[in-house]
């Protein structure tokens, strides 16, 4: 009984101390140095609290995000399908655009030369014959014949690429303007005539130009139409340099070709 009274007293004393401490703590909450101490305590304790809460926050966020993800997944699937079908449509449109442009050019050239054009695809262009020749997809069956001019298009210009050298049933071999055995009658922009010769490089030579010719860098060179193989007005290239030969009265010019067959897919054979 006595022990119980002692215990009760102890309990009451402790309670008084605790209540007093509690009250003191509440009262000193607003004192400045306690605030500093509190802030310090918070700074120490808060990260640990956040650390404990971290996994739960993550789970909560994951649950919310997974819901969003599910809807995003189905939306993504639908959009992917739409993109695929749109891509296919775009490809079709691009193809049709290219085809349309090519057909327009064909029409223009046909009207200009009053001749048929045979559109062809470059099917092979070997590195060993880079400046010499390439093969096209049209042959005897399509009406392609030997020495027919092969042309390409740059913007609105029709460019001479070469001529048909060998004809097979379904394909043909084209000799390029840059080939060393290529010859063609040409005309400078001032009307001076000459002969263009391939040189197995992008710079081709124009020879037998009149000594009175006024040649300057950048002058455009076209086919002259003489010789009977190539029609006049086909673009060949621009003058990059000119020279007067020491033991001859003629001048010669170096022409840079504008058209690179390796960048192209389609060419045209000008049917006579």
Partner 1 sequence: MIRIPLLLITGFIAQLVIFNYLSPSGLGINFTLLIAIQIALIRGSYTGELFGFFSGLIEDIFSLGVIGERALVRALIGFLAGRFKGKFAVQNIFFQIFLVFFIFAFYNISIYFIRAIFYYSPFPLKRILLISALNSIIAPLVYHLVKKASAR
Read off the tokens for 152: 């390409």
Q: Which is nearer to partner 1, 38 or 217 (CB)?
A: 38
Read off the tokens for 268: 């045209």
Interaction between residue 85 and partner 1 (CB under 8 A) = no
| φ/ψ (deg, to 5) at 53 | -75, -20
Q: Which of 42, 79, 107, 154 binds partner 1 (CB under 8 A)?
A: 42
Interaction between residue 62 and partner 1 (CB under 8 A) = no
Interaction between residue 98 and partner 1 (CB under 8 A) = no
Q: Which of 14, 62, 72, 123 binds partner 1 (CB under 8 A)?
A: 14
Contact 146, 251 (CB under 8 A): no
Q: Which of 31, 46, 216, 217 binds partner 1 (CB under 8 A)?
A: 46
Contact 268, 106 (CB under 8 A): yes
Interaction between residue 19 and partner 1 (CB under 8 A) = yes
Residue 259 to residues 14, 50, 157, 161, 262: CA-CA distances in angstroms? 102, 69, 10, 8, 9
Contact 167, 144 (CB under 8 A): yes
Residue 255 to residues 190, 206, 219: CA-CA distances in angstroms? 15, 7, 9
- Region label for 241, one of left (φ > 0), alpha (ψ between -120 and 50) or beta (otherwise): beta
Q: Which of 11, 87, 121, 181 binds partner 1 (CB under 8 A)?
A: 11
- Using the contact rule CB under 8 A, the part of the chain among 48-56, 95-103, 165-173, 182-190 near partner 1 is 48-56
- DSSP 3-state of 165: strand
Count of C-beta atoms within a 10 Å radius of residue 184: 25
Cα–Cα distance, 236 to 194 (Å, whole number) = 12
Interaction between residue 6 and partner 1 (CB under 8 A) = no
Interaction between residue 24 and partner 1 (CB under 8 A) = yes
Interaction between residue 22 and partner 1 (CB under 8 A) = yes
Contact 125, 262 (CB under 8 A): yes
Interaction between residue 7 and partner 1 (CB under 8 A) = yes
Interaction between residue 61 and partner 1 (CB under 8 A) = no
Count interface residues toward partner 1 (CB under 8 A): 26
Q: Which of 2, 33, 56, 71 binds partner 1 (CB under 8 A)?
A: 56
- Using the contact rule CB under 8 A, the part of the chain among 24-32, 76-84, 140-148, 227-235 near partner 1 is 24-32
Q: Which is nearer to partner 1, 29 or 214 (CB)?
A: 29
We find the least distance from the C-beta atom of residue 80 to partner 1, in angstroms, to be 37
Per CB under 8 A, contacts with partner 1 among 122-181 are none
């Amino acid at each position: 009984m006595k022990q119980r009274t002692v215990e009760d007293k102890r309990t009451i004393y402790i309670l008084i101390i605790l209540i007093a401490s509690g009250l003191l703590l509440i009262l000193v909450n607003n004192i400045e140095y306690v605030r500093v101490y509190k802030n310090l305590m918070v700074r120490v304790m808060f990260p640990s609290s956040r650390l404990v809460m971290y996994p739960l926050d993550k789970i909560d966020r994951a649950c919310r995000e997974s819901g969003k993800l599910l809807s995003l997944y189905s939306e993504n699937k639908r959009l992917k399908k739409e993109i695929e079908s749109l891509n296919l449509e775009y490809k079709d449109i691009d193809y049709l655009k290219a085809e349309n442009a090519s057909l327009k050019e064909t029409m223009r050239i046909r009207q200009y030369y009053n001749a048929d054009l045979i559109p062809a695809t470059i099917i092979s262009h070997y590195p060993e014959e880079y400046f010499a020749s390439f093969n096209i997809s049209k042959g005897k069956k399509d009406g392609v014949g030997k020495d027919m001019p092969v042309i390409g298009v740059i913007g609105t210009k029709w460019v001479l690429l070469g001529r048909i050298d060998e004809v097979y049933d379904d394909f043909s071999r084209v000799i390029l303007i840059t080939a060393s055995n290529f010859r063609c009658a040409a005309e400078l922009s001032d009307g001076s005539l000459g002969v263009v010769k391939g040189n197995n490089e992008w710079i081709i030579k124009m020879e037998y130009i009149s000594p009175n010719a006024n040649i300057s860098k950048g002058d455009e060179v076209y086919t002259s139409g003489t010789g009977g193989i190539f029609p006049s007005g086909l673009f060949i290239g621009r003058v990059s340099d000119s020279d007067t030969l020491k033991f001859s009265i003629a001048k010669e010019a170096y022409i840079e070709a504008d058209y690179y067959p390796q960048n192209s897919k389609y060419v045209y054979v000008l049917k006579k």
